[in-house]
Structure 1
C-alpha cells in the first residue's frame, strides 16, 4: 500500500510539491527515491495517486497520476465539545476522534477545566488522517466557554430536506444520565456532544445545560475519565452493530 502524505497546498494539475514535516518524513524516515508511489490528500475530499519525481534538500516533487473523490465521512455532522485534559490524553482524544469520524472538536472552558487548545492539535489531526484514510480534516475550533457552547448551533444535516431532517441532538455526558437506547444511538442526526473536565461539570453547569435543552446521558454506573466518556459515546454512534 502506498504511503499517505498530506499536502497543505491544494493539489491542482499534474504536479505537487511537499515541504515541511511531510517532506522531511519522506526524505529522512522513508528514504524516498524517484519512482516511489505515494497517495496524497489535501483535505478537499480527494485523494491522489502520485509518484516521486525528485528529492531535493527540503522538498519532494511528485507527479499526479490519478485523482478520485473518496468519501469516508459520517452521514451526518458530529461535533464533540470536550474539556481537554493535559498531555498524551489530549492527543489520544484528538487522534481517536479523527478515526471515529468526528466532524469538529471544540475545546471547552469550564469551571474546572485545564487550559484549552494548543498548536499541536492540528498536527495530531493530520497524522491520524494519514493513518485512518480520511480525506477531509477534522476541524479544531477555538476554545469556547461553557455558556456559549450551550447556545451553539448544530451543523446542518447533509443530503436531506429541511422537512425530512430530524432536530439536532444535544447530549451532555453525566454520571446520572440515562444510557441512550441502541435505536437512539443509531439515528442519523446532527449531534453536539458535551464532555466535562476532570472532576466533572459543576451542578450549575449541568443545570444550565438541561435548561438550554441538552439531555444528560451516561454509559453506566461507573465514573468515566474524560477520554473514556468522549470516545465511548462517539463510538456508540459511529460504529454500527454487527
Structure 2
C-alpha cells in the first residue's frame, strides 16, 4: 500500500490532508479514488491507515481508519557523516542509506574532498537531497524521514562528536593492517545498558580517503578507528556496508 509523509499540521485525530506533489501522485499516477486506502505518516513515528474521501489534482482528503504500529526503524540511531563525493554519489548514499536505516546524513568537507563546494548552490542541493530521502523513506516503509544537515567543515564535524555515544571513523589503513575489530567493538557496545536508543556516527572519507592527520584528530576527539574489511570500498559503498554491519550487530538481522 502506498505510503506518504505529510506535515504534522495536515494530520489530525480523525482526518489527513495531502497536498502538492503527493496529491498529484495519488490522483494522476496511482489513479486512486474515494474509498481507496493509503498510509500517512507524520515523520515522527505516527503512522495511520486512511480512506480517501475526495481527490483533486492539488488536494486529497482522507479519513483515518486506524493507528498503525511500526517497527521499521533501527535500534541504534545512526548518522552517516559523508565527505562530499563527486557527481551524484551522495544522492546514492542518501537514497540507499535511507533504505538501510540511517536517521541523519551529515555531508562535510575534508582535506581530500575533490568536488568544488559552492555555498550558493547549497540550499537547492539540500532540497533535492531531502526529497530523495523522503521518497526513499516512503518506498522502504520508514516511519521517519532522515534529516539532511547542511554541509559542515571538518572542524565543525569534530565538535559534533560530543553528541554521540560511539564514533566510527572508517579508515582504510585499519583494514589493510588486518586489525579489523569492528565486530568486537560493536558487541561490547551492545552489551551496555542504554536508557534510550544509542547514537552512532559513521564517518566516511572522500574518493582519496582520509589523511593520517585527520585520523589522528578524529581519535583525539573520541572516535574509534575501524576498517571495513581488507578490500578497498568506493566511498558510496562504504556507508551502506557499515549500515549493514550495524543492523546485524544490533540484532535487527538476527545478530547475537
| TM-score bracket relative to the smaller structure | 0.7 to 0.9
The two structures, once aligned, show a CA RMSD in angstroms of 2.0
Q: Could you tell me how far apart the structure 1 residues matched to 2:101 and 2:149 are?
A: 16
C-alpha spacing 1:182/1:206, structure 2 compared with 1 (3 Å): closer
Match of 2:41 in 1: 41
Q: Could you tell me how far apart the structure 2 residues matched to 1:215 and 1:43 are?
A: 31
Q: Could you tell me how far apart the structure 2 residues matched to 1:192 and 1:69 are?
A: 27
Match of 1:76 in 2: 76
**Contact 2:28-2:57 at 8 Å conserved across structures:** no
Instruction: Tell me which protein shows more helix as a share of its residues.
Output: 2
Match of 2:7 in 1: 8
Note the C-alpha offset of 1:124. 1.1
Match of 2:140 in 1: 132
Report the TM-score when normalising by structure 1: 0.86
Q: Could you tell me how far apart the structure 1 residues matched to 2:159 and 2:180 are?
A: 23
What is the 5 A alignment of 1:213-232? 213-232=222-241
For structure 2, the residue ranges without an aligned partner over 5 or more in a row are 191-197
Match of 1:165 in 2: none
1:182-215 Cα distance to aligned partner (Å, 9 max, x none): 3433433532211111111233222221222322
1:114-163 Cα distance to aligned partner (Å, 9 max, x none): 3375321111111111111111121111211112212214546xxxxxxx
Report the TM-score when normalising by structure 2: 0.82
What is the 5 A alignment of 1:110-125? 110-113=110-113, 114=115, 115=117, 118-125=126-133
For structure 1, the residue ranges without an aligned partner over 5 or more in a row are 157-167
Secondary structure of the residue that 1:92 maps to in structure 2?
helix
Q: Could you tell me how far apart the structure 2 residues matched to 1:5 and 1:199 are?
A: 38
Name which of structure 1's ranges 176-185 and 100-109 shifts more when overlaid on structure 2: 176-185
C-alpha spacing 1:241/1:82, structure 2 compared with 1 (3 Å): same
Match of 1:179 in 2: 180
> Which of 204, 220, 225 pairs up with 1:195?
204
Name which of structure 1's ranges 131-140 and 184-193 shifts more when overlaid on structure 2: 184-193
Match of 1:96 in 2: 96
The total of aligned residue pairs comes to: 230
